[in-house]
Structure 1
Amino acid sequence: MGSMTEPRVPTTPDQRCIDDYRPIKVICIGAGMCGIAVGCLFPQHIPNLELTIYEKNADVGGTWLENHYPGLRPGKRLSGNSPRKLRTNIPPDLTPHVYQYTFASNPNWSRFYPPGAEFEEYLKTVAKKYDVYKNTKFRHRFISARWLEEQGQWEVTLRRLEDGVTITDLAEVIIKATGFVNDWRWPNVPGREKFTGTMLHTANWDDNFDPAGKKVAVLGYGSTGVQITPAIQPAVKQLDHYVRGRVWVPPGGGTNTEELIERGVQNNFDHSLEERKRFTENPELYLEFRKKQEAYCNNVQRIFFKDSEAQKQFTMFLDANLKETTKPKPWLYGVLRPEYAPGCRRLIMGQAWLECMQEENANIIPKDVKEFTENGIVDEDGVERHYDAIICATGFDTRLDSSGTPFIGRNGKPLSEVWDPDPVAYFGVNPEQMPNLFLMFGPNTAPFAGSIVHTFESTAHYIIKCVQKLQREYLKSMVCKPQALRNWIKHVDRHMSKTVMSDSCVTWFKRNKPDGRTITMWPGSAMNGHIGWKNPRFEDFEYTSWLPEDDTLAWLGNGCTVAELTGVGDTTNYMDYKDVSKILPVPTKDYVPPVLPAFGQKAPSEVNGAETNQQGLEQQHAALEHVDGNTIPSTALDAKAPAGTKLAASHEIAPLGPKVDPGTKRFPPPRPESGTETSSEE
């Protein structure tokens, strides 16, 4: 057993500065996209942090590192002599211009939907840039975690894969960042060991497998299944795709079809070297392009409201596309056309799949698989078909069942019991009876519309605020109140009842129960979630403290900050003129600051009896350009606001400093002379 970190009981806070934060340790399980976000953001926002990220693989990347089945790019198929070592493509419901961190733009994507290898490389590059590797221990498999009430810590047990040794570690906070697509599973079909041909799972792909000239069966019709079939169809002798349900297939690029239409392409396009050079040299131009793509994604929320006009039009659009695409094999329309509303089951962004299934060597078998045999597959009707290879694109264990890797919370309660009958967590982040356990991509966090990466960042910032509170206020633990969790469940279920999720459909969104409870979707869009996670309701948590009940405010400290006491540091760090436009109301484009009289003179309105410019007076202390030779930063004056922006009343304004008599000189300092450095953004 490895060594254990000693519990750190906080020192007396009233003897410390308020910002001399106590040390706190955070363990994160997983270094995929969520874990990398933790590794990038937490050290920047949490002082005195000891962060350890444990990852079972040999590198960062999670599902992008592990998955490398054929399916290079949507709309492009592979030939028999194509390279065997391939990478999965980014799911074409989101272009990578949306599917990347807001703080780590990549202007160099080769295509609108590039090869998955580019995204894998992107994640590694981000991890290097933000020093995530420094805090990550690879080849460590998580086994279990147990809450130690007296110590206020989680005891985490792991297996070191390089030598098989079991180790333990302690931390005040644990973050589960393993996501949904982490634990791949074979299909629950008997006889797998009997099959004498090649059997593969897409999540455990053999790069040496060559499908050329073979009779191949594909099981599973989720995102993976519809990516791999068009990739191998031109190379195989025969392709049978077992599809036991019905699917909606949007054409083009899903939520970003508009960009394809604008560029006059059907499925994809290259970003030319010239365009990528412009994006690289002009970050504002690339930001504008990113915002355009993200706006496409954010603006589709309406189609998920049941019986809405947008939903009806979307259904008609998909129905027409399905009917048109299946004209070579019209019977497929009746086989594939769902009765449920689009979005109840995850939309299959597989136009290339739908097209390749019209080819002579490709067939859809709308039957369940009953068993595997020595030579192939027996379907539910008892029909046996022979194959050289069977590819299982049957995905992952998405039940959020943690019984195999238990978290034992307060009073010895395992998370698997807390999550019976369904997994729930307050705001998708904190489960009941699990103090200081926070989830990334937990239950009910996937947005209906918008970027899932935006969601990852929003939840990371939410957890950061929770950890900061634990650290700042000398709290031993925080966990959601039972009533708060019930309120959350009520809100989620009420929202789902108004959406397409209330339809009857078999989907892992509802644990494959047609009329089950939705466990994956956030009750709204990514933007809705961003605002919700940005504003934690700390009153919805129960706390235990290291401080005595009669002295819970001792964390306010000795009355000083570190900078004041030591003379080292910035004692005015709350003033940052480059951010002034984010603090002050932004004047409208046609706003003209009022003319103020010289000291001792009357205002023009007093002399002429004219009505004073009320808006100008309300803003004068924030929008003056020249007073006694002093100026304020240009951002407050030059920043633009949408037409019709209403300015706040004076009592709503966050001033640069206290309001002062016009005769004083307590205004922001003058701008630097020309040629000197300034933090103002022109």
Structure 2
Amino acid sequence: MASKESTSSYSQFACIGAGFSGIALGVTLKRWYGITDIRFFERHSDLGGTWYANKYPGAACDVPSVLYSYSFEPNPNWSRVLPSQEELWKYQKHVADKYDLPSKMTFGVEVQKCQWIEQHKRWVLDVRDCKTGTTFRHECRFLFAGSGILVTPREIDIPGSEDFKGSIFHTSQWRSDVDVEGKNVVVIGNGCTAAQIVPSVVDKTKHLTQIVRAKHWMLPPIDGVYTDYMKSIFKYLPGTMMIQRLLIFLFAEIELKAVPMTTSAAKFRQKRRAYAEKFMRDTAPAKYHDLLIPDFEIGCKRRIYDSGYLASLHSKNLTLTNERALKIVENGVETERGFVEADVIVLANGFSTNTFLEGVEVVGRDETLTQHWDSFGGAEAYNCSAMSGFPNFFMILGPNATTGHTSAIMAIENSVNFALRILKPVLGSPNGVIELDRDAEERYVNRIQDDLSKTVWNSGCQSWYIQPHSENSRVWNAMVYPYSQGYLWYRSLFPVWRDWKITGRTRNWKSVLRLLLKTLGQEKGCMRLSAQLHS
């Protein structure tokens, strides 16, 4: 039985997670308000989140580095357009060290429960040490969830994994102690991750069999190396990185033209589809075209930028199959038409989606977060960040925050900036509370879901964007933002204050000045009245 400490620690702010989201929060708090009283709780043994955990061969970002980085911390020294996992993690570490954030991070712990205590106007967190099992409590005034959206590996839906005598693991839990050299390897899945792993390991294996479970539209790579000359320009010529970032953002925004289910968007998708199909047919072996090329709208699923995957399918020691895996046995995988021998099985079957803060019980004023979302029909949040009934609580990269065609870091900054603007009126008050109005939340969420229903993401393909649903239930999409990130940035600049309930507001210099002038006015009035009485 796990032991429990009786005392509680305290910080003004607390954040679940220490990846890109948590680091952005810590830096922005310090830059904007000079606040350093924050504590981060991270389940991994170091900071970085996704880019610490995912260390599989070929792991890299598919968004250009100049856009997949903080606007407040440009990096002129990126080695290439699409940075590797290692380079991204080093960038995160650099930013965190620069603002002295690691000293405020607790690693190897899991937040199990967060509960709002109305009497004290605080959140109480139950935190468990992953190694010892010891639990302790931490209290804070303002709670942020920055644990990401693709975190929990999807459970394998093939029976028998416990009988396998070789090594079996999910891509996000890649075992560096397992050598695939000269081994029979089976990769289950063919999404973005598998498309990076297969070309990185196929030449080392004795034989690699990839079991295809779905089809994806693939596009030519947009990668390239930054030369020393280019790095010097970015470093010494002011404004060049900002211009590059803006141009890449605008270029990425072109993809939004494919999103609406309109006649003009359909024409744009048709052109993109023809372009992608030609690339796939020209690059992949003809015998695999039927297994790879989709029959659904381009854009319905997240596109894959091919980093050598299609070309690697020409390898003589590689087999691509769409045979359904029936059972994992001690020495391989039984399929519907045969058997595939395996020494190593790699699960590239993705992550749990349309779920947020999985494994954490969040208890607000009158209900849990799960109950709150059930009342709507799925995970949701006002401006992708806040829910009614959960005071002083914000999500970073929450429901509907990201857009598949552009950088998640933009969405993170938008979420952080919005939340810290909303919290400004209560930051200096010991008991300040800010809470979203339920009606405002309902209006926002209904608009988001209605607009998503008119997009290509909801056009009918089997996609992780869509929450599993019955035939007659509402199609729920909690994974993507139906508009431009530029619009979310704009909404984050100008909070709609009538949508919020604020108590214990900080008296800033303007309110203090108004009170002083009012008091002086009353004193002058009293003096005039006294003079009149004595005249």
What is the TM-score normalised by the length of structure 2? 0.88
Deviation of residue 504 (structure 1)?
Answer: 0.8
Deviation of residue 529 (structure 1)?
Answer: 1.3
Deviation of residue 40 (structure 1)?
Answer: 0.5
Cα distance in structure 2, aligned partners of 1:554 and 1:438: 23
The aligned residue for residue 60 of structure 1 is 47
Matched, 1:367 2:323: yes
Deviations 1:178-212 (A, max 9, x none): 01122234413211110112212211111122212
**Shift in alpha-carbon separation, 1:399–1:519, aligned structure 2, 3 A:** closer
Matched, 1:310 2:314: no
Amino acid at match of 1:537: V
Amino acid at match of 2:68: Y
Matched, 1:193 2:166: no
Amino acid at match of 2:169: L
Alignment of 1:194-593 (within 5 A): 194-253=163-222, 268-306=223-261, 307=263, 308=265, 309-326=267-284, 328-330=285-287, 332-350=288-306, 352-379=308-335, 381=336, 383-400=338-355, 402=357, 404-411=359-366, 413-420=367-374, 421-471=377-427, 476-512=432-468, 516-543=475-502, 545-546=503-504, 558-559=512-513
CA contact (8 A) 1:69 1:205 kept: yes
Aligned CA RMSD, in angstroms, stands at 2.5
Cα distance in structure 1, aligned partners of 2:191 and 2:419: 31
Matched, 1:159 2:142: no
Deviations 1:18-72 (A, max 9, x none): xxxxxx811111110000000100122235662111222232111111111111x
Deviations 1:208-257 (A, max 9, x none): 2221222111012221111101111122122111111111111122xxxx
Cα distance in structure 1, aligned partners of 2:227 and 2:358: 49
Amino acid at match of 1:89: A
Cα distance in structure 1, aligned partners of 2:238 and 2:331: 57
Cα distance in structure 2, aligned partners of 1:352 and 1:244: 20
Deviations 1:567-586 (A, max 9, x none): xxxxxxxxxxxxxxxxxxxx
CA contact (8 A) 1:155 1:168 kept: yes
Deviation of residue 416 (structure 1)?
Answer: 1.5
How many residues align structurally?
504
CA contact (8 A) 2:121 2:431 kept: no
Cα distance in structure 1, aligned partners of 2:33 and 2:509: 16
Alignment of 1:18-37 (within 5 A): 25-37=12-24
**Shift in alpha-carbon separation, 1:439–1:304, aligned structure 2, 3 A:** same
Deviations 1:369-404 (A, max 9, x none): 22211121123x253221121111123222315462
Deviations 1:392-441 (A, max 9, x none): 11232223154621001112x11112222311111110123222210001
**Shift in alpha-carbon separation, 1:226–1:489, aligned structure 2, 3 A:** same
Deviations 1:595-637 (A, max 9, x none): xxxxxxxxxxxxxxxxxxxxxxxxxxxxxxxxxxxxxxxxxxx
**Shift in alpha-carbon separation, 1:554–1:443, aligned structure 2, 3 A:** closer
Cα distance in structure 2, aligned partners of 1:346 and 1:445: 15
CA contact (8 A) 2:392 2:435 kept: yes
Matched, 1:69 2:26: no
Cα distance in structure 2, aligned partners of 1:126 and 1:416: 34
Matched, 1:3 2:7: yes
State percent identity of aligned pairs.
24
Cα distance in structure 1, aligned partners of 2:77 and 2:162: 45
Q: SS of 1:107's equivalent?
A: coil
**Shift in alpha-carbon separation, 1:336–1:512, aligned structure 2, 3 A:** farther
Q: SS of 2:24's equivalent?
A: helix
Amino acid at match of 1:132: L
Cα distance in structure 1, aligned partners of 2:67 and 2:370: 34
The aligned residue for residue 60 of structure 2 is 89
The aligned residue for residue 678 of structure 1 is none
**Shift in alpha-carbon separation, 1:316–1:514, aligned structure 2, 3 A:** farther
Cα distance in structure 2, aligned partners of 1:47 and 1:101: 19
The aligned residue for residue 263 of structure 1 is none
**Shift in alpha-carbon separation, 1:48–1:502, aligned structure 2, 3 A:** closer
Q: SS of 1:312's equivalent?
A: helix
The aligned residue for residue 184 of structure 1 is 153
Deviations 1:635-669 (A, max 9, x none): xxxxxxxxxxxxxxxxxxxxxxxxxxxxxxxxxxx
Deviations 1:500-528 (A, max 9, x none): 11211122211355983211111211112
Amino acid at match of 1:65: Y
Cα distance in structure 2, aligned partners of 1:557 and 1:2: 41
219-228 vs 468-477, which moves further: 468-477
Q: SS of 1:299's equivalent?
A: helix
CA contact (8 A) 1:473 1:555 kept: no
Cα distance in structure 2, aligned partners of 1:482 and 1:65: 37
Deviations 1:154-184 (A, max 9, x none): 1111123464321111111110000112223
Amino acid at match of 1:252: P
Cα distance in structure 2, aligned partners of 1:290 and 1:315: 27
Cα distance in structure 2, aligned partners of 1:70 and 1:514: 38
Cα distance in structure 2, aligned partners of 1:252 and 1:270: 12
**Shift in alpha-carbon separation, 1:362–1:464, aligned structure 2, 3 A:** same
Q: SS of 1:509's equivalent?
A: coil
The aligned residue for residue 25 of structure 2 is 38
94-103 vs 350-359, which moves further: 350-359
Cα distance in structure 2, aligned partners of 1:363 and 1:434: 51
Q: SS of 2:165's equivalent?
A: coil
Gaps of 5+ in 2: 517-535
Alignment of 1:561-640 (within 5 A): none
Deviation of residue 277 (structure 1)?
Answer: 2.5
Gaps of 5+ in 1: 7-23, 72-87, 254-267, 563-682
Deviation of residue 473 (structure 1)?
Answer: 7.1
Amino acid at match of 2:491: G
CA contact (8 A) 1:430 1:438 kept: yes
Cα distance in structure 1, aligned partners of 2:104 and 2:300: 40
CA contact (8 A) 2:20 2:48 kept: yes
The aligned residue for residue 609 of structure 1 is none
CA contact (8 A) 1:507 1:513 kept: no
Cα distance in structure 1, aligned partners of 2:216 and 2:460: 13
**Shift in alpha-carbon separation, 1:196–1:150, aligned structure 2, 3 A:** same
Cα distance in structure 2, aligned partners of 1:52 and 1:210: 38
Amino acid at match of 1:291: L
Q: SS of 1:293's equivalent?
A: helix
Cα distance in structure 2, aligned partners of 1:561 and 1:456: 38
**Shift in alpha-carbon separation, 1:162–1:195, aligned structure 2, 3 A:** closer
CA contact (8 A) 2:149 2:356 kept: no
